[in-house]
Structure 1
Amino acid sequence: MSAATPSPTALRTRDRIVAASLTLFNERGIGRVTTAEIAAASAMREGNLHYHFPRKSLLVEAIFATFANEAEKVAGHLPADPEGADALLSYQRAWFDLVWRYRCVYRDGIAMVEIAPSLRGEVRALRQRTQALARRVFESAAEAGRIRIDHATLSRLLDNAWIVSSHWMNFRLQGKADLDAADLEWGFEQVRALFLPYLTPPTTT
């Protein structure tokens, strides 16, 4: 094993730090969590944390990279049965569950790019990639007769869905200290409502 290749132990430690950081960031906000708190949640000294992540920006970048990898998998996951009544609903639910698991990325987007400015371009690039993947899913659904929509309208629909998915948390946080499961369901219904006018009822045999 070369010196540049992290050992399995180091990789497990990094994963533990990223997982602990994500939990804290989701609970309290990216800009409000200190490296000392992350180290305590990771059951290590702060000096050991800095060995793996010398700067907080590197930790934020690692979380975003993990999110981006999962986001592309979810966005590009074609429903097994595109003609099924719940195919698109399940697809949208999987995306929304991902958003909830990484809600700090959406809720604290401004703080995220302030701490890690290099992510500004990555955020835009990820949006383009996931929208392209989602377009293929919905085009497949259109071919299967589950949605009636032209190409131009689909582009606008995906843009609007991205806007709502990205900002509904801040809207719901007005006058509240935190988000809960009821807020998650509310946000999901807002995105789902955008697609309902274009869905066709499932055929029965």
Structure 2
Amino acid sequence: MIRRGLIIALFALPAFGQETGRTVDFAPTQILDLQFKITDLSGNPVSEVAGTVQDLQVKEIGNEVRIDLNADVLFDFDKADLLPRAQETLTKAAAIIKERAKGTVQINGHTDSKGDDAYNMKLSDRRANSVRDWFRTKGGLASFHFNTKGFGETQPVAPNTKPDGSDDPEGRQKNRRVEIILTKG
């Protein structure tokens, strides 16, 4: 009985407005174009939310394996001390090195273009050494031979500025990295 009453009510509702001669005006439809922008505490745009940043990328080129580590996952800004959250990423990289490396493992540090060239060169070198030290002491790679080198901002993989000359935070983020290069075993 309740169903029948509900069905009748649904059909009667449109007729109700017609019988009284009233027209029902609905509010005009408005489509909102919502865009959300994520910014850091200084108000600068951030391209990715922390936690969604890809921490590690592996590429095989011929007889080489290249592991790119996102420096924003490994280090705080302007620091070479590894963050606690870096352990998971470094553990993944260590497993690849153990399984695939034959011979010397090269670790290269890179920065973006913010700051003094000489300072960035030293910072990138200290970061490469921090990664090497972690592999030796905590990553189970004490018997492996490592070479480290800091390149500073000299080998960008993305532009640090946009075509109009303004800052490109996404490009700078891609340039802050540590590369591990090994010969496949």
Question: Greater Rg, structure 1 or structure 2?
Answer: 2
* TM-score, with length taken from structure 1: 0.31
The structure whose residues are more often strand, as a share, is 2
* TM-score, with length taken from structure 2: 0.33
Q: Which has the higher contact order (CA 8 A, sep 6+)?
A: 2
